[in-house]
Structure 1
């Protein structure tokens, strides 16, 4: 009987890497004195408590929501370890503030600005379908500009190096090789299951889903897009899973744009960064 494939996911954080397995999630961070500290917790997924959420087109939105929650917790832990946050209570309040500001910024930059510019460019007499398509492409452009912009910031360079270490380590695990620095170094820093790829597919799929929603007033437009994001996330998730699992070469083309974008969001890691990624994955890998 063929063994069920186990997926390991991850995320780069400040001076570290978070890895998530089927049962545990671990964040490994390099401390200022050069040691590696690890925070490990059990995974409590909604899909385990409510099996219906494991159904196709439902599991994608759950995966996205949980990735955001676990990701913010890991970022907060990493910030405390490297000394950017002092107290856990203050960290929790800060995390709430960051989430709130992120939601507001996302609505402004990915919803309000594209819809305003699309209307400005095409005018009120244009077909709603055309307006929605242009709005979608503008949203994609804003996303790509954002990714390009942060890639130039000094603070993100090391995060992108840890991002590369995360991908290389996962590739090594999936190849069945021993998790050593030497083995990890020879693998690609690009991975088709990366969150960057997922977000890019979300942007593309949203163009088609939102195209036929008409062009109601601004409030309805914004609310309709927010309410339909779980559907968009679900479709995007299934496309990526299918493209990865299938052996048909033409289907794998679907992963190419995301891999291209990862040239912006990953960098070749240093050996000490790979050690951190290995420590995180070792903490969550399933028992043989």
Structure 2
């Protein structure tokens, strides 16, 4: 039980599956078209420099984001490849081999590119475009820079909600968000000390304080506060300022996320994490039993390999 009370795990939804990151290994479980569950198991390579850096407040958040994006792209590629292979099997009688190969390659490269670039590019877009829009609409309406920052934050949130709403309507993203919910349910069940069965896991909420969705909304709220300490005279200065301060906003937002998670059991202070939970109403969906089973399989396999790695027996675990 002591391990359960101290271990903190994170995960990520992938196409038709879930990835969990352990202390020594990342594991992705994917549900194939034949209903079998396949796994990608990637041991972590020790890096003393990164280990030291990730202990430094405000810097550790930025390092963690970059590392997560790099690791996540590998697992997204694996799930995309499995999905493309299954879809190709359904149409191989009508598709020419070269066409099928081209489709697979496009799918794989596209998801890998999204995994690597989506956060950086997306964050820049959601940082710079609202600043342009706010300046265009309200630039000459008043001089109060704090009010300008507040309106910029409101525009960011509106853009974010509209974007998430529309992409959540597409079938593949809806299923991705269901697996996101399944990931949260498994982590919550584990942290509560519950048995990891489908029936028990389904009793837990699909929302979780330590989610990347919460981090996104915190970057908007923290940005409003940080930008208020600086001023600008032109739109060019405002944009450059936003780019320069972006790492600061990310680093502080990560610490705020950790803080709200630590306080989530205190009746009054738990409401600090409410904005992130509200956003998760869009970025997660209720999973079905099969999706929860995949999430449990991924988590159990990760824990199994982590246990063997702790005893120096990774090779034995991977041969099971």
Structure 1 unaligned spans of 5+: none
Higher mean C-alpha deviation, range 221-230 or range 179-188: 221-230
- The answer to whether the 8 Å contact 1:128/1:212 transfers is no
Instruction: For residues 23-77 of structure 1, give each alpha carbon's deviation from its aligned partner in whole angstroms, at most 9, with x where no partner exists.
Output: 2111111112211111111234767634143122222222222222222222111
Partner of 1:64: 65
1:128 CA drift (Å): 3.1
Structure 2 unaligned spans of 5+: 86-102, 311-320
1:21 CA drift (Å): 1.6
Could you tell me how far apart the structure 1 residues matched to 2:200 and 2:192 are? Answer: 10
Could you tell me how far apart the structure 1 residues matched to 2:45 and 2:179 are? Answer: 25
Partner of 1:262: 280
Partner of 1:211: 228
Partner of 1:170: 187
Partner of 1:253: 271
Higher mean C-alpha deviation, range 12-21 or range 143-152: 143-152
- The alignment's TM-score, normalised by the length of structure 2, stands at 0.79
Where 1:54 maps in the other structure, the secondary structure is: coil
Instruction: For residues 229-261 of structure 1, give each alpha carbon's deviation from its aligned partner in whole angstroms, at most 9, with x where no partner exists.
Output: 222222222222222223432221111111122
Residue 127 of structure 2 corresponds to residue 111 of structure 1: yes
1:227 CA drift (Å): 2.9
Where 1:41 maps in the other structure, the secondary structure is: strand
Counterpart pick for 2:151 among 134, 159, 171: 134
Point out which structure has higher relative CO (alpha carbons under 8 A, 6+ apart).
1
Q: Which has the larger radius of gyration?
A: 2
Could you tell me how far apart the structure 2 residues matched to 1:177 and 1:254 are? Answer: 26
1:104 CA drift (Å): 4.5
Aligned residues between the structures: 285
1:272 CA drift (Å): 1.2
Instruction: For residues 1-32 of structure 1, give each alpha carbon's deviation from its aligned partner in whole angstroms, at most 9, with x where no partner exists.
Output: x7671111111111001111222111111112
Partner of 1:80: 81
Alignment of 1:1-288 (within 5 A): 5-44=6-45, 49-83=50-84, 86=104, 91=108, 95-96=112-113, 99-100=116-117, 103-104=120-121, 106-108=123-125, 110-124=126-140, 126-246=143-263, 247-285=265-303, 286-287=306-307
Could you tell me how far apart the structure 2 residues matched to 1:136 and 1:60 are? Answer: 21
Could you tell me how far apart the structure 2 residues matched to 1:9 and 1:281 are? Answer: 10
- The alignment's TM-score, normalised by the length of structure 1, stands at 0.87
Higher mean C-alpha deviation, range 78-87 or range 167-176: 78-87
1:112 CA drift (Å): 3.4
